[in-house]
Structure 1
């Protein structure tokens, strides 16, 4: 599949965008007119740069308000178009995007519009240029692709075809199935954009909230499948208008874009398996991936070893041993949970979640797939006889390792710490319930796609949680059996500006247990001060759930929080924050599958008070 990306998707200068697209692995680009207008490089220099980078110049865009106009205005449009065709000849690009009219349209007659496109096609042919006519979702008279195609058919010109844009089709709820009835040779270009489902005017939605395929809510696999069945064989390009993308690092965004196309290519190929072969796009597969079956380990990196290990002890963990060749690394164990503590950093460096190990069926295949999806491998050395751990960096810098699924066996790497067997098999802690990861706002969509494509986790509906520093957006990535649950949080801007005393927005490790009351009492006996919960919370709790007074009193005594739904109950407590990390201990009763979302504002407010008191 030939991949392309519009320069409007990326930050920086036109030249920087071209270098980033080439480095990411794209085959070509769409040159957005404004990027060329503001560039000091002549069109010939851009053409030569593209050739040197191995990039095709697949499209020049946009040409606006061309058709549905009165004759005197159309004469001016022809003059304007001819200037653009000459420019395209200098650039060396042969296809121009013509958008349906939104500003100067006066004649709502298909025959008039087709005749004007035909005249533009005659002029384009003189310059060796093709016109790809696109129905904008907010076009004055033409706002859907089937209408646009009827006009193209009426124009009946070899240099006039259609451009199909997934956003303009799916945002309006149009059925994309009729794409299959369009003659493949009349589909001149395809642009892809995903988007979250929002209730707002379509123009604002389009200009600010598009995302790469796999990062939104549209059925992108279904859309590309229709194109394959139609026999389309041209470029598949990304056209994303997104405020965050245009402020983010250009190289990261380009890599994220290519990852989205490779993921979509693989998913579409699998969706079409078994259908009669007509794949002129030549969709390429990725190495197969299975969902992770659990957490193998969590690694904490800290410059404050004493307070970190003290907290682990208070939560019931025991020292499993020190690594045989890495003197600054130790492992703490409780039941099946393994916390690796790495203090190979400067004294007093903040405590943070550094790495996550996921149990997978085939670590080699998982790593190969991740690399094919443009993930960066984690460089790691080991002494002879030590386990080889395979991993890549997540978008936020967390190291993600693919660990061989041990079943009920102890992971082989534990032997490097002298821990040959599980400690305390009767532990209250039974596993990692979930790990909550904070994401920079400009890379949130990238993280969703990363965990979707690399680990086959599914994104759940996002929620907004209010806190003293603003709304926190939270979206859970999870495996189908919930063995892995990974909530991704986007911190409000105020949090990034120091509401947490200069620290990054905190992340946390949630531990599953069989008896949260017993776990809280044990932690208290060992000196742990749990995150305090105000009296007002318990008064409100008793009202909301009509709870027994003695039960509420026992919760309040231990600073426990409570939630309930139709399936079951949820009891939990939080520790204080070390650097950017805190722990949560949870007990699920019945079929409760949530995360105690009504209690999140209580936690956020308590953390806010504590950090500001410290500051």
Structure 2
């Protein structure tokens, strides 16, 4: 599948954008007109740079406000179009995007529009240019893809085709069935963007909130499969308008964009293959055109959802404070690593924490920008138990992830991992539900308690948040759940859970308020939640060992008493142990928090019956208590 990206997706100068697209591995680019206009380089120099970088120039865009106008305005529009055709000829470009008229259209008459499109086609023929007519979702008279197609079909000109843009189509909720009517050769270009589910005017939604495929809420696999079913064989391109993307690192955004296309390509290949299977009962709407697919859709190594969390690794330069708190939570010390004396393993049942003392340890030179450094206590990485570690790492590398360099002795378990968008590490191990073989490198301390890592809560910088969603979706086959906003003293915290279907893996991704990111009191912390089968025994053990609990205000328990009909003895025990409580129709959730060390704290949880949440009503209590503690109040 030929990949392309619009230069408007990226920050920087046009030259920087071309370099980033080529380095990421894109085949071509769309040239956004403003990027060319503000460039000091000539069109010929820009085309030469693209050729040197191995990039094709796939689309010149946008050409606006052309059709549906009176004769005088139309003559001026043709003159303007010819100037653009001449410019494109200087660059060796052959396709231009024509957006449906938004500002100057005064005539809502199909015959007039068809005639004007046909006359534009005659002009384009002289220059060898193809015109891809696209219905903008806010077009004055033409705002639906099917009407744009009807006009193109009526024009019946070899130089006039259509452009299908997933945002303009899906944002309006247009019925997709008519895509199958369009011959692939009349689709002159295909643009893709995802978007979060928002209730706002479509223009603002489009200009500020588009994201790459897999980072929003739309089913782009179905969309691409439908287009592929027409026989379309041209570039599959990204056109994303997003304020964060245009402020982020150019190269990093380009890599994220290509990862999204490769993930979508593989998912679409799987769907098309299923639709082509004579024994398939999928019944997908795209199946009707599956036999006409001409896109070269490549698959990725298949991975199943992780079987569990093998371990969480914490880096620290305050070893005494961290290991004391881990011990207070009931963990048992397993031992030091046999060749790495600054690394130790602690366990509580199937919950394992690897502690790496960072004082005196040099950071890895190849870590990406934003990776955890040697100072403070921080969440350094997560090890996932997977069915096939080799397939997982191979898939990750094909999806543009950067492998973590790791020194290991010849007799040690081979563990491979990649850097996550926030700079932490994600490792893959062949999990079997029992102690993995790498733990033998620390010693052996049996522990059959029913305890495990319930979830890991990760803080994400704003400019990497959408990237993180795609990262965990595409590499680990996790699913993004509906996001929630939680109030805190620093502002709203956006939280989106990445989870496996069976709930074995739960990872809330928190987008901290910007005030928290720049806070001098420690920023926004991350935490590891530990499951137990008796929260009160865990709390009593922690009390006996001197744990510094995060205090819960009395006002909370008075409100709890009003909201739930709790037995007085239960309420008393909750108060005495700083335990919070929640209940829904499926079960109960009891939990307590520790104080924060560096940027990490712990949560102990007990789930009763089938409670699947995270105690969301209690999150503001925790955030306020942490804010007071950080501020010294």
Q: Secondary structure at the match of 1:246?
A: helix
Q: Does 1:537 pair with 2:551?
A: no
Partner of 2:399: 373
Q: 1:431 aligns with which of 452, 456, 463?
A: 452
Q: Distance in 2 between matches of 1:258 and 1:350?
A: 34
Counterpart for residue 47 of structure 2: 47
| SS of structure 2 residue aligned to 1:272 | helix
What is the alpha-carbon distance in structure 1 between the residues aligned to residue 309 and residue 199 of structure 2? Answer: 37
Could you tell me which of 548, 564, 583 is aligned with 1:564? 583
Between the aligned partners of 2:216 and 2:375, the Cα distance in structure 1 is 36
The counterpart of 2:598, out of the listed 579, 599, 612, is 579
Matches of 2:445 and 2:86, distance apart in 1: 74
Cα distance, 1:324 vs. partner?
A: 1.1
What CA distance in whole angstroms lies between the structure 1 residues aligned with 2:18 and 2:153?
35
In the TM superposition, residue 314 of structure 1 has moved relative to its aligned partner by 0.5
How big is the shift at 1:226? 0.6
Q: Which residue of 1 aligns with 2:547?
A: 528
Structure 2 unaligned runs (5+)? 277-289, 362-373
2:339 aligned residue: 325
- For residues 377 and 240 of structure 2, the distance between their equivalents in structure 1, rounded to whole angstroms, comes to 36
Quote the residue 2:518 is aligned against. Answer: 497
Whether contact under 8 Å (1:304, 1:349) holds in the other structure is no
**TM-aligned CA deviation for residue 546 of structure 1:** 2.2
In the TM superposition, residue 155 of structure 1 has moved relative to its aligned partner by 1.3
Cα deviation for residue 567 of structure 1 reads 0.5
Please report how far the alpha carbon of residue 277 of structure 1 lies from its aligned counterpart in structure 2 after TM superposition.
3.2
SS at match of 1:277: helix
Instruction: State the alpha-carbon separation in 1 of the partners of residues 592 and 134 from structure 2.
Output: 55
Aligned to 1:474: 495
Cα deviations across residues 222-269 of structure 1 (Å, max 9, x unaligned)? 100111111100001000010111011111111111011111111111
From 453, 461, 480, the equivalent of 1:459 is 480
Q: Structure 1 residue 121: deviation in Å? A: 1.1
Q: Give matches, 1:393-412, under 5 Å.
A: 393-408=419-434, 410-412=435-437
Q: Given the two structures, how large is their TM-score scaled by the length of structure 1?
A: 0.97
Aligned-partner Cα distance in 1 for 2:193–2:43: 27
- The 5 A counterparts of 1:76-91 are 76-91=76-91
Provide structure 1 residue ranges, at least 5 long, that are not aligned to the other structure.
none
Q: CA offsets, 1:211-232, max 9 Å, x none?
A: 1111111110110011111110
Shift of 1:272: 1.5
Instruction: Give SS of 1:613's match.
Output: coil
**TM-score, normalising length: structure 2:** 0.95
The secondary structure found in structure 2 opposite 1:206 is: helix
Q: 2:316 aligns with which of 281, 295, 302?
A: 302
- Counterpart residue number, 1:241: 241
Rounded to whole Å, the distance in 2 between the matches of 1:181 and 1:518 is 66
Q: Which moved more, 1:398-407 or 1:594-603?
A: 398-407
CA contact (8 A) 2:334 2:445 kept: no
Q: What do residues 251-295 of structure 1 show as CA deviations (whole Å, max 9, x unaligned)?
A: 111111101111111111111224253220010000001100001
Residues 358 and 375 of structure 2 are in contact (CA less than 8 Å); yes or no, is this contact kept in structure 1?
Answer: no
TM superposition shift of 1:346: 4.6
Does residue 288 of the first structure (1) align with residue 309 of the second (2)? no
For the pair 1:519 / 2:543, whether they are aligned, the reply is no
Q: Show the counterpart of 2:418.
A: 392
Q: Determine the structure 2 residue equivalent to 1:162.
A: 162
Task: Give the Cα separation in 1 of the matches to 2:622 and 2:418.
Answer: 32
Q: Equivalents in 2 of 1:93, 1:492: separation in Å?
A: 44
- Does structure 2 conserve the Cα–Cα contact (< 8 Å) formed by 1:62 and 1:97? yes
Q: Distance in 1 between matches of 2:91 and 2:524?
A: 46
Tell me how far 1:421 sits from its aligned partner.
4.3
Q: Which residue of structure 2 lines up, in the alignment, with residue 30 of structure 1?
A: 30
